[in-house]
Structure 1
Amino acid sequence: MSEDEKTPAREVITDYAQAHFRYFRTVEGTVYAQRNGHPVARPIRSQGTTGSHRQELMVDLFNNGVGVFNGTSLKEALDLIEALALSQDVQPTHIRVAPGYDGATWLDLGRDDGQSVRIHPNGWEVKVPDPREVCWRRTQLTGELPMPVRDTEGKGIDSLLRLTNFATAETECLALAWIIGCLEPGVPVPAPFLTGPQGAGKSTAGRMLLRVIEGMTGDLRRAPKDEESLITAVAAGWITALDNLSHLPPDLSDLMCCVVTGAESIKRALFSDGDVYRSRYRRPLLLTGIDVGVIRPDLAERLLTLRLERPKVRRTEAELWAEYEPALPFILGSVLDLAVKVRATQSDIPADLRMADFAHLCAQFDTATGFQTLAAYRASLDDLNDDVIEGDLLAQTVLKHAATLEPGTDMRVTSSEWLHRLTGLYSGDDCRPLPKGWPTTGKVLSDRLKRLQPTLAARGVLIDWGRTKDGRYIEMTRRPAPPEHEQHPLL
């Protein structure tokens, strides 16, 4: 055959690729490739250690005897394939957890054969999902999970709780509810904060909770130094676990709020002056530490305090993990059984809590098990409100002023007048110096009160804003005390 009659290499590669792979794009415009019948999608251009489609295609062409091609031929073929894929339907890719058809969700086991767990209110099963239903994206943080065991009768959960040092049964219920929430891709879950005295096993318990979903390769990390580092870690995995936090700077606190409830990051695309790269994220967080200092009110609404206690009998790390690793298939099976049971129940949605989806999950959990998870969640938020108030002198001063009002009455004055009254109340007769960060203008006071509004409302002090013909005002109302049975929800 003459040189003119030979098929160009780029056409050979293109024909082979289109016959053996499916190409699509995401909403961000990234083009992915899926081997026919396989749910794992690989980006065309990535050269990472997890493998790109370019590398995958080169290996296939060699192993199937098609040939070995130079870089120019591969580049020309992939350029054409990428251009064609940009006109195809948009389909999202998912890490670890994904929504499916008919109200089901999927859990990626991280296996090479693509087998995953389909979770539905009618039960769970292990199978390879239809590539058009689920597209898995994997990174170095995607570890392999063991095959879950069926019909465990809850023994796996007993094993997990026996290996951890949670202080109360209510804390154990909250930890289980959080794990169930991590299997729901559409439900934002509060970030559990594992706290307790030194030696309580906070880091070990955090790893054990994390590895139920992320496998034995999942581990805790140090707090990032900047926003970009945290966003990179969050985008590359499902659960982000930060260990041994000692303080939360305002920027990190705000970013954690965005991670829990969802946000989008935009930065300039590489090798481009006019294009951008979009990164959307909403991920479960897990935190450990003895104390993080002052907690901002918006983050407090997105936290879940899990207290641990020091064990009475010490065991080595090797002993704990030697018991945990063989128990993980049973733990995962028990968690899946519980998830099915919870999803099959119906309950009312609490309308008074910020994380309403998780509160609804707690209510379903209680209906399915008979526990008091929702009451424990409310008590956890109440403790966090106490922490916010103890760390904010302005909140303490507002509550002190509200105590002088008659229940059910309100007081309505301008922000400047409120600043004068609260400053005088704090300074007192001895003219105590104002603390650093105290509001200096009525506008600053108004902004601080807006941030504190949910915390003060939890203590029966309602703050509202309005306007009359004379100008704007801030209204403070002291709510009447609730009935005695509502003051102690755990009783």
Structure 2
Amino acid sequence: MGDDEKNPAREVIADYAQAHFRYFRTADGTVYAQRIGHPVARPIRSQGTTGSHRQELMVGLFRDGVGVFNGTALKEALDLIEALAMSEDVQPVHIRVAPGFDGATWLDLGRADGLSVRIHPNGWDVLTPDPREVCWRRTQLTGELPVPAKDTDGKGIDLLLRLTNFANASSECLAVAWLIGCLGPSVPVPAPFLTGPQGAGKSTGGRMLVRIVEGMSGDLRRAPKDEENLIAAVAAGWVTALDNLSHMTPDLSDAMCCIVTGAESVKRALFTDGDVHRASYRRPLLLTGIDVGVIRPDLAERLLPLRLERPRVRRTEAELWTEYEQVLPIVLGSLLDLTVQVRAAEAETPTDLRMADFAHLCAQLDAATGLGALAAYRASLDDLNDDVIEGDLLAQTVLKHADTIEPGGAQRMTSTEWLQCLSRLYAGEETRPLPKGWPTTGKVLSDRLKRLQPTLAARQVLIDTGRTKEGRYLEMARPAPTPQHEQSELPDHRA
């Protein structure tokens, strides 16, 4: 019997692969290959243009003089390896940002040598992570970041703000807070919405913020036409940046809410009838545009409006980006320094805001720097609530009726009775026709009011639902002023 028959090609490949690579699976059952001692992992079934495990295995076999093997042998070997890996421990893979041991977090610099930044309670270091602590996943959207500069004395933040056209200090400190949030793998952050007049540099400012985290290859994209393509783009990178939004459909608005706070997509796996593919995602999101029309209340709670103004002095694109690329290591180093300071700062968590994690981060930023980020965040939410109310005639009518309720009082009716009441109030004495989109049934009104609950609550109008023996009801109430509020309105007689 010949040597080839004693040791088939598939066994030669499998032995070589297991000696040079570590194989493991993720929670969704995908098997990954990781070169021994290197933190970057690739799916063994990947056929992507960024380099598949099959390709690196073929190259390794050839360069190490083991041989060149046909496709059948490679397939049989990878089938065996995949089956063996299903019994290995589960380990997650991460894109760009990951949690580490002992409270540390990691930032992938996207380099071929695997160098990354470890952010820990006492500072940050540039090193290659232990593959069992962090497994990086790379895609075409994973750009390379420069090695951040040490001992910057915070001047990198000033350099960044000098290159951008933020209209006020509130927008500047909120942009910084968002960047710090992007370095945390477990902190959901609201989506910055860069607005301003034409020529204010919204797209340029958005690129500058994104490229601090995604490298110089990071860019803005047009909003995909359907949710499936949007999810695919989100899953392949860390920061998703959508440019020049002029209209936001309800489906796109709902998808953005899911991206910011996290969701899971399930669809049928390719080439199967009964299997499914799961994709969990929660990513930082950035938007630019002059005006997107009416903003839905649930999305408004997840937005971070940043105002830009037209620059007084224009610069060429080449000059601007050359300077940006030169200062990027300093900007990144200063951001990492500030991140360490902010995470070490102690601050109370505001309990009245939807994005409580980001509100706490703003409070920590204030404790570390005194910038007033939390107050700016509250003011931005008030502005967004005004935008929601200005674009919703039902909300305006509800607030008008609420003015007839005494503080501390409440009114309770069925949803149908409320629809008749609010419709009469809107029509007025001149009985003007109801606008397009006005609720047509009590059930539709109830659903609309549930969506408007946070916006109305911010204007001291509380909507509640319940059931009695007679049936369901809707209650509209105005809370009584708190003692602290009453005290603040009393004249101060102190000398």
TM-score by length of 1: 0.97
After TM superposition, list the pairs within 5 Å mapping 1:466-477 onto structure 2. Answer: 466-477=466-477
Shift of 1:314: 1.5
Structure 1 distance, partners of 2:152, 2:444, is 57
1:452 and 2:444 aligned: no
Shift of 1:51: 0.9
> SS of the residue aligned with 1:208?
helix
After TM superposition, list the pairs within 5 Å mapping 1:134-173 onto structure 2. Answer: 134-173=134-173
> SS of the residue aligned with 2:306?
strand
Structure 2 distance, partners of 1:17, 1:373, is 52
Judge conservation of contact 1:460–1:481 (CA < 8 Å) in 2.
no
After TM superposition, list the pairs within 5 Å mapping 1:55-70 onto structure 2. Answer: 55-70=55-70
Paired position in structure 2 for 1:355: 355
Structure 1 distance, partners of 2:245, 2:83, is 46
Shift of 1:103: 0.8
C-alpha change, 1:5 and 1:388, in structure 2 (3 Å) is closer
Paired position in structure 2 for 1:269: 269
Paired position in structure 1 for 2:123: 123
Structure 2 distance, partners of 1:422, 1:271, is 53
Farther off after superposition, 383-392 or 305-314: 305-314
> SS of the residue aligned with 1:124?
strand
Structure 1 distance, partners of 2:175, 2:479, is 33
Paired position in structure 1 for 2:26: 26
Shift of 1:405: 1.2
Shift of 1:2: 3.2
Shift of 1:486: 8.2
Gaps of 5+ in 2: 490-495
> SS of the residue aligned with 1:29?
coil
C-alpha change, 1:5 and 1:439, in structure 2 (3 Å) is closer
Paired position in structure 1 for 2:205: 205
> SS of the residue aligned with 1:94?
coil
Shift of 1:479: 2.7
> SS of the residue aligned with 1:309?
coil
Structure 1 distance, partners of 2:178, 2:354, is 16
Shift of 1:6: 4.6
Paired position in structure 2 for 1:411: 411
Paired position in structure 1 for 2:492: none
Farther off after superposition, 467-476 or 146-155: 467-476
> SS of the residue aligned with 1:398?
helix
Paired position in structure 2 for 1:290: 290
Structure 2 distance, partners of 1:373, 1:429, is 46
Paired position in structure 2 for 1:2: 2
> SS of the residue aligned with 1:32?
strand
Supply the AA of the counterpart residue of 2:374: L
1:319 and 2:303 aligned: no
Structure 1 distance, partners of 2:457, 2:479, is 9
Supply the AA of the counterpart residue of 1:213: V
Paired position in structure 2 for 1:49: 49
Structure 2 distance, partners of 1:92, 1:155, is 36
Structure 2 distance, partners of 1:107, 1:308, is 29
Structure 1 distance, partners of 2:341, 2:217, is 28
After TM superposition, list the pairs within 5 Å mapping 1:224-373 onto structure 2. Answer: 224-373=224-373
Structure 2 distance, partners of 1:54, 1:146, is 29
> SS of the residue aligned with 2:117?
strand
> SS of the residue aligned with 1:341?
helix
Structure 2 distance, partners of 1:484, 1:215, is 52
> SS of the residue aligned with 1:78?
helix
Q: Runs of 4 or more off by more than 4 Å in structure 1?
A: 3-6, 484-487
Structure 2 distance, partners of 1:216, 1:484, is 54
1:462 and 2:462 aligned: yes
Paired position in structure 1 for 2:395: 395
Paired position in structure 2 for 1:79: 79
> SS of the residue aligned with 2:367?
helix
Structure 1 distance, partners of 2:236, 2:461, is 42
| Percentage of pairs with the same residue | 80
Judge conservation of contact 1:146–1:328 (CA < 8 Å) in 2.
yes
After TM superposition, list the pairs within 5 Å mapping 1:95-106 onto structure 2. Answer: 95-106=95-106
Q: Residues 118-160 of structure 1, C-alpha deviation per residue, up to 9 Å, x if partnerless? A: 0112110011111111000000000000000001001111110
Structure 2 distance, partners of 1:253, 1:471, is 33
Structure 2 distance, partners of 1:202, 1:130, is 39
Judge conservation of contact 1:110–1:144 (CA < 8 Å) in 2.
yes
Shift of 1:480: 4.0
Supply the AA of the counterpart residue of 1:152: T
C-alpha change, 1:2 and 1:466, in structure 2 (3 Å) is closer
> SS of the residue aligned with 1:362?
helix
Supply the AA of the counterpart residue of 1:255: A
Structure 2 distance, partners of 1:485, 1:236, is 53
Paired position in structure 2 for 1:40: 40
Q: Residues 380-417 of structure 1, C-alpha deviation per residue, up to 9 Å, x if partnerless? A: 00000000000000000000000111111111111111
Supply the AA of the counterpart residue of 1:231: I
Judge conservation of contact 1:413–1:475 (CA < 8 Å) in 2.
yes
> SS of the residue aligned with 1:280?
strand
> SS of the residue aligned with 2:310?
coil
Structure 1 distance, partners of 2:206, 2:486, is 36
Q: Residues 41-61 of structure 1, C-alpha deviation per residue, up to 9 Å, x if partnerless? A: 011011111111111100000
Judge conservation of contact 1:171–1:306 (CA < 8 Å) in 2.
yes
Judge conservation of contact 1:207–1:218 (CA < 8 Å) in 2.
yes
Shift of 1:437: 0.8
Structure 1 distance, partners of 2:486, 2:301, is 24
Structure 1 distance, partners of 2:413, 2:254, is 31
C-alpha change, 1:11 and 1:485, in structure 2 (3 Å) is farther
Judge conservation of contact 1:267–1:276 (CA < 8 Å) in 2.
yes
Judge conservation of contact 1:460–1:480 (CA < 8 Å) in 2.
no
Judge conservation of contact 1:197–1:310 (CA < 8 Å) in 2.
yes
Gaps of 5+ in 1: none
Supply the AA of the counterpart residue of 2:176: L
Q: Residues 269-300 of structure 1, C-alpha deviation per residue, up to 9 Å, x if partnerless? A: 11111100001100000000000000000000
Shift of 1:4: 6.0
C-alpha change, 1:393 and 1:180, in structure 2 (3 Å) is same
Structure 1 distance, partners of 2:201, 2:121, is 34
Shift of 1:322: 1.4
Supply the AA of the counterpart residue of 1:438: W
Structure 2 distance, partners of 1:279, 1:370, is 39
Judge conservation of contact 1:97–1:108 (CA < 8 Å) in 2.
yes
Paired position in structure 1 for 2:14: 14
